[in-house]
Structure 1
């Protein structure tokens, strides 16, 4: 027997099997959603939370992530801090008939939405999104602020410095083992190296600083990423200077400014800190990203595939009620939001309008042309008939006229006139 009629929200304590397995088990028994109740207090909660005896508080917020096998899970789930979960459980214990109404939505603090994407230059999952979302970013304009984030590893924590570290990390790192990335093709001796990925990550962050940080749109950044994926996303050209310069030129990015930015931030050669990459490491630790790519809208992780409609609708749902931009009102609920943004109207609505308005105009024009042609043809036909009749009449009188002339000539010869 289920605790109450399905569908229902199932509350499960943290611990035991993985989060993914807990949610999967709940889905199998008919749950409409799952709340994972944390069993350990956050240190920041202070006196508002009481840990079980023998348990220390958690310094960082816990992370609830898919273990990689959650493709079959369709119900929503989230993690609730212990101080909040304890109140809910206490209410449920005191009143078993309590009904907790819940809704799934994004925080909507104001009339501007902030969204960010965590990825790497070699991430293939986010490739389609990066190739298509520029139009939405431009259409949203100042009403949304985008931040691209490049995922790199802290080489110092990973032990990539020193003789042993250099041997272990090989060509995965820059700055003498400080900043690292995984080898995208799992071949340390060939192809794209982790150091190449770090270098391209720094380049993209510099492009964003110069062309996107002020307006939060960064049209040139999107263009460069698309150009690089189109021209240089191969083992041979990924870090090729001529190919990268060509991609920047097509994206109208000043390559000299970007190279200077990469150098001024600390570069990639010496055992020194790189200011931009240090900021990325701090942002990664703060966000708690563990699976790539990861999209956040108003600091909430967006679950599901990284597709244009999913992200666009999530952004549009992040506005305070009544402050949604026109592009969201027009396109968020369209079957194809991208096509709607490109054309400026929702496809299905325009199709109906085109049948009643555009088609009617063309039909009327066609009818007018048809009648004009019929009129011209009729006039020319009537004219030809009139000409034929006139010629017929003239032809009838021509013999009489000739006979009369002949008789007159004979009479003149005889000296007589009739």
Structure 2
């Protein structure tokens, strides 16, 4: 039985791999840039190069430099220790390296550390140009994120010509790398799409796309609000072949009876989240964008995705529908419209939103299939290079028709305040005029504030609570408080920072307190002849006749006493007072006598009397002879 499940699991993995391979074989487009040789004369001309999927291509610009081919380590697989490439003319160095022996990205990294402004890698065989990709996820590829120079692959023949020319010392080989036509710019608006995934457990790729969304959000929302761009998010969606639909393992990865699927997030069918959870959240994020777009707030998608990632992470076991609904409501989105757009995931029918995604996944015209995540497509051209905030902004700005670029493209500055609109969907206390919304260049963040030295704690979206000393002055520390008939009671105490506790005379959890009816619950006025009346926060107790109620003793005593009692009381009081005065006088007399005797004793030792002085005088005279 176990082996049967293992075979089905293996088949499902093969199915996922087959879907990827089929899309790869379908249509992959190599994005290219131009290279023009300026010197020497005999090899002048224009050539093509394939833009790498790493580094930062200079979209919309050019770079002129001198080609340098290293005498040692021409593959660039090892660091050029101590070497810093320079040209005789002072122009930037464009390092030419051979293909083979190590990752393309590692060659570019070693070139960057040796001072190269760009890296060209010459193919080792005669074949059409290919796109140089980043290495598979490993412990040694941290350098990929640090690559800031452009890289490109050139064909073998062109590479040989450059090597031969560079080997001669008579003249520098000067080339001009040109990316101006690599990004189309047909009109005054740029259309771009981002293929992503709601799964946050897929390693480096997931971290890369989420970091990009968080960092680029501010730029994206300014461009969208100003009408400069048309942005559309997309999500890769697989389908389940008929042969696998009946298997329990594959059913857990799909919705709508196998029509829309995603790989198991942790690749374990027995525990954790399932592929169908990812598909449903992908669908929800697509519908958030659709509904926001219908309400002329298309930029809200960026807020939803970043907030969902922070509040509903798989790693924290919060990846759920309820958490997603809370995020949607916090952003002022109509939840019913989003659910209506999503449809029924259990229905045996096509989902129009996801079906459209599967169709758009296939490349048409100049655009290739979407085969990897994340993928950015600008003006129908797949962006090549690292997903970095300013690099992507530059590529988008290169997509505008000349002289129609928005101000953000010219300055790179961002001045926005999302907190002005609905408080950015963050927590706020209107009573105290306190908010968790904080504006940054990346857009708003929801972070509990510190106000007048009092720290608030919470998630920043739904709740923030004042803690520590001074909390009672800030909205009563979120504890219960109420005023009636000019009298105020509060469950917040500056001496007890552990929480909220209802004051004496009330009961509750500290966040809601109700008056205790001491009379009804027989907590007071239990003495004979007493009558009890409940009050807010306390009680009034009266005794019959002329008796006076003593609250601390819960008893009644007489208000009026007889004349004899008064005389006896006065006599007793006089005796007590007289005894006290006599005792005090006797005490003072004895103390004075004792002190006098002590003083005399001390004086007799250190200050002799006159007769003693006279008797000692002859002895003093004899001692001087």
Q: TM-score, normalised by structure 2?
A: 0.41
How far apart are 1:225 and its partner, in Å? 2.6
Change (3 A) 1:78 1:273: farther
Q: Deviations over 1:358-383 (max 9, x none)?
A: xxxxxxxxxxxxxxxxxxxxxxxxxx
> Which residue matches 1:391?
none
Displacement of 1:194 after TM fit?
1.3
| Corresponding residue number in structure 1 for 2:454 | none
SS in structure 1 opposite 2:192? strand
- Which of 1 and 2 has greater Rg? 2
Larger strand percent: 2
Whether 2:404 is the aligned partner of 1:323: answer: yes
Which residue number in structure 2 is paired with residue 46 of structure 1? none
Which residue is 1:161 aligned to?
244
25-34 or 244-253: bigger deviation: 25-34
| 2:221 is equivalent to residue 138 of structure 1 | yes
Instruction: Show the counterpart of 1:261.
Output: 341
Alignment-derived partner of residue 202 in structure 1 = 283
How far apart, CA to CA, are the structure 1 residues paired with 2:359 and 2:151? 27
Question: Which protein, 1 or 2, shows the higher relative CO under an 8 Å CA cutoff with sep ≥ 6?
Answer: 1
Query: Which of the numbers 332, 337, 354 marks the counterpart of 1:277?
Result: 354
1:8 to 77, 90, 94: 94
Say if 1:29 and 1:114 are closer, same or farther in 2 by CA, change over 3 A. Answer: same
Describe the superposition over 1:247-306 as per-residue Cα deviations: whole angstroms up to 9, x where unpaired.
22222222222222222xxx5334544333233234334344454333344424252244
**2:134 aligned to 66, 75, 95, which one?**
66
Question: 2: distance between equivalents of 1:319 and 1:94?
Answer: 39
Tell me what 1:223 maps to: 303
1:99: which partner in 2?
174
| Pair 1:230–1:9, CA change in 2 (3 A) | closer
Distance 1:31 1:288 in 2: 33
Q: Secondary structure at the match of 1:161?
A: helix
Mapped to 2, the partners of 1:28 and 1:138 lie a distance apart of 35
Inter-partner Cα distance in structure 1 for 2:113 and 2:406: 40
Give how far 1:22 is off: 5.5
Hey, what does 1:176 align to over in structure 2? 257
User: 1:119 Cα deviation (Å)?
Assistant: 1.6
Instruction: Please give the TM-score of this superposition, normalised by the length of structure 1.
Output: 0.58
Name the SS of the counterpart of 1:100 in structure 2: strand
Give ranges in structure 1 of 5+ residues lacking alignment: 41-51, 348-418
Greater helix fraction, Structure 1 or Structure 2? 1
RMSD across aligned C-alpha pairs, in angstroms? 4.2
Deviation at 1:214, TM superposition (A): 9.2
The residue number in structure 2 matching 1:48 is none
Paired residues for 1:3-402 under 5 Å: 7-10=93-96, 18-20=103-105, 23=108, 32-35=117-120, 63-67=131-135, 68=137, 70-73=141-144, 74=147, 75-79=149-153, 88=158, 99-104=174-179, 107-109=183-185, 110-123=187-200, 125=207, 126-131=209-214, 133-140=216-223, 141-156=226-241, 161-163=244-246, 166-169=247-250, 171-212=252-293, 218-234=298-314, 236-240=317-321, 242-263=322-343, 267-270=344-347, 272-286=349-363, 287-298=368-379, 299-307=381-389, 309-330=390-411, 332=412, 337-338=413-414, 340-342=415-417
Displacement after TM superposition at 1:102 (Å): 0.8
Cα pair 2:251 2:257 within 8 Å, conserved: no
Deviates more, 1:200-209 or 1:65-74: 65-74
Task: Provide Cα deviations, 1:24-69, integer angstroms capped at 9, x if missing partner.
Answer: 57668875434457799xxxxxxxxxxx7xx9x9xxx954321245
SS at match of 2:70: coil
Q: CA contact under 8 A between 1:19 and 1:64: conserved in structure 2?
A: yes
SS in 1 for 2:361: helix
How many residues matched? 307
Q: What's the CA shift for 1:213?
A: 7.4
> 1:12–1:90: structure 2 CA closer, same or farther, 3 Å change rule?
closer
Deviations 1:119-141 (A, max 9, x none): 21133523344345444333222
CA positional deviation for 1:212: 2.7
| Unaligned runs of at least 5 residues, structure 2 | 1-68, 72-84, 88-92, 201-205, 419-440, 442-625
